Amino acid sequence: MKRSILLVEDDILMREFITDYFKKEQWDVHEAENGRIAMEIFERTSVDLVVLDIMMPEMDGWSVCRRIREKSDVPVIMITARAEDEDQVMGFELGADEYVTKPLSPRVLVARATALMKRTEGTVGREGGTLRFGRLSVNRMAHAVSVSGQPVNLSPKEYDLLLFLIRHKGKVLSREYILDAVWGYEYEGDLRTVDTHIKKLRAKLGDEGRMIGTVIRSGYKFDVEP
């Protein structure tokens, strides 16, 4: 299952260079050349990670990070040509998760992004990487799902769909975004594919299927009821 990144960098050559490396590692990349465009993309697209340059026209990285943190806890890696401690402290105070200085290695940046996502998703240092929500358990190492200790037999695509919804817990995901992320951009089916799989997934999860909520005219959201 692909992860998605919003890459915000005003240097077009650097942006293309970084994009190529992320795409080679099977990331979906959304590119923005300045902070204004970055926020426009962020408002309409759900992404797993933001890589954000600080010095940009129209809206700098500090402002973008601040606005993102008002809306989301998505992981943020900030990039700067300055290595001063004050800049790094500022970034962390604004909610950045990682800090990378230029000149940077795109290969190392991808590795750090992947490591950050693993920490965010809770797979580092956890035997089996088991997620639990109420009576629902998902063991990512074994690709096994159970409810109240009883195995739930999911198809590979149903499992990918459930894991994708969990990774974006609390966020409203459009049918279009789910279809592209789980089935891939080249999939020729229509949005009813998502609805059909959601219906089957809910049925197999029984009462715990209530965690997959329908947001009218918007899509679906995985959330744990209080």
pLDDT digits (tens, 9 = 90+) for 86-119: 666 666 677 777 888 878 888 888 988 888 887 7
Domain 127-222 has CATH 1.10.10.10: yes
Per-residue model confidence as pLDDT tens digits over 23-32: 998 899 999 9
Per-residue model confidence as pLDDT tens digits over 39-59: 999 888 878 899 998 888 788
The phi and psi torsions of 46 (rounded to 5 degrees) equal: -90, 120
Q: Which residues, other chains included, contact 70 with Cβ-Cβ below 8 Å and sequence gap of 6+?
A: none
Asked if residue 185 has pLDDT above 70, the reply is no
The phi and psi torsions of 138 (rounded to 5 degrees) equal: -130, 115
pLDDT (0 to 100) of residue 56: 85
Domain ranges of the chain: 4-121, 127-222
Averaged confidence pLDDT in the chain: 83
pLDDT (0 to 100) of residue 85: 58
Q: Rounded to the nearest 5 degrees, what angle is found at the Cα of 29, between the Cα atoms of 25 and 34?
A: 140
- Whole-structure pTM over 0.85, yes or no? no
Asked whether the domain spanning 127-222 has the same topology as the one spanning 4-121, the reply is: no
pLDDT (0 to 100) of residue 128: 46
pLDDT (0 to 100) of residue 86: 63
**Strand pairing of 219-222 and 212-215?**
antiparallel
16 close to 9: Cβ distance less than 8 angstroms: no
CA 183 → CA 16, 144, 166, distances in Å?
A: 25, 20, 16
CATH H-level superfamily of 4-121: Response regulator (3.40.50.2300)
